[in-house]
Amino acid sequence: MARPVSIRNEQILDAARRCFLEHGYVVSTAAIAKEAGVSEGSIFKRFGTKEKLFQESMGLPRLDVRALTEPLIGEGEIERNLEFLAIELLKFFREMIPRVLMTCSQPGLGPFDRFRNNPQSMPAVLLAGLRDYFAAETRLGRLRDIEPEVAARMLFAAVHNFAFFEYLGIAAREGEDASTFAKSVVDHLWHGLKPGSRELES
C-alpha cells in the first residue's frame, strides 16, 4: 500500500502566499487548502490561525548580499559587478515589495516594527553589505574617494524604485527591461565613482 504524499509546510506557505497576493487577506483558508492540496483542518493544525499563516507566508525573502559581494572585491570590472548586483537586488525587491505592501494592508501585521532601529532587519543588512562593498573597492583604489553609504543608497534606491513602479504597473521607458535598466543605472553611477572622475570635473 502506497504511503500518502506528505505536503511540507513550505508548500503550504507557497500556496498561501500566492493566494494572499492574488486575492488579499480576505481569501478563505478553504481556498488556500485547495491550492495547497491539503485539508483545511491540516492548515489550522499546522499554523493555528489564519493570521499566523498570513504572517509566515508573507515573511520577507532573504538575500545574502555579502556572499554576492565578497567574491567581487578587487576582481573583474566594477561596472559589470555593479550590473550583476543590481540584477540580484531587483530579483529580491520583486519578491519583497508585494509581501511588504500586503502585510501593511492589515493593521498590526506590518513589518515596520521589525525594521525600526533593527540593524539585523533585511533592508539594513542589504544596505550594510552594499556599503561595505563600496568601501572595500574604494580602499583598493578601484573607486574614487567616495562616501560608501551614499553610493550604496543610490544603487539600492534606484533598483527599489524600478521594482516598486513595476509592481504598481507603471512601465519603465519603452523597451527597457531589467538588464537594460541595470546597465543604465550603473552607467550613470560610474561617472561619479570611477577613479579620477573628480579631477576630470575640476
Domain spans in the chain, listed from the N-terminal domain onward? 9-57, 65-201
Asked whether 65 and 130 are in contact (CB, 8 A), the reply is yes
Question: Is 50 exceeded by the pLDDT of residue 93?
Answer: yes
Mean pLDDT of 65-91: 94
Q: What is the mean pLDDT of residues 126-143?
A: 95
Phi, psi of 77 (to 5 degrees): -90, 130
Q: Model pTM? A: 0.82
Looking at residue 169, its pLDDT comes to 85
Closest listed residue to residue 179, CA positions, set 194, 193, 157, 159: 159
> Which is higher by pLDDT, 181 or 133?
133
Regarding the domain with residue range 65-201, which homologous superfamily does it belong to in the CATH classification?
Tetracycline Repressor, domain 2 (1.10.357.10)
List helix spans (H) across 140-177: 148-168
pLDDT at residue 57 tops 70: yes
Average confidence (pLDDT) over 61-69: 93
> CATH homologous superfamily for 9-57?
Homeodomain-like (1.10.10.60)
